[in-house]
Amino acid sequence: MLNLSEHHGDGTPGTYVRVRVDEIEAYHAELQSRPYKYFRPGLEDREWGVREMVVYDGFGNHIIFYRPLK
């Protein structure tokens, strides 16, 4: 569980948080199996050697789930 605060002084909207997930493909498949009409994150392999899935919340924060490719 990750709680992001919107209280003054705790951070700003638009913050990026990176979370390592060893089973990112399984987590991605779980999200894709849900009936979310507008929430369909993809997986991307980055040139710096990670696979990422970016999730956005209603306050413009980005939660980047990733795993190393090697």
Q: What is the pLDDT confidence band of residue 64, given thresholds at 50, 70 and 90?
A: very high
Separation of alpha carbons 19 and 21, rounded Å: 6
What pLDDT digit, counting tens, does each position of 4-62 carry? 676 777 777 788 899 999 999 999 999 999 998 888 999 999 999 999 999 988 878 89
Please name each of the domains of the chain with its CATH number: 16-68 (3.10.180.10)
Separation of alpha carbons 56 and 68, rounded Å: 21
What DSSP character marks residue 60?
A: S
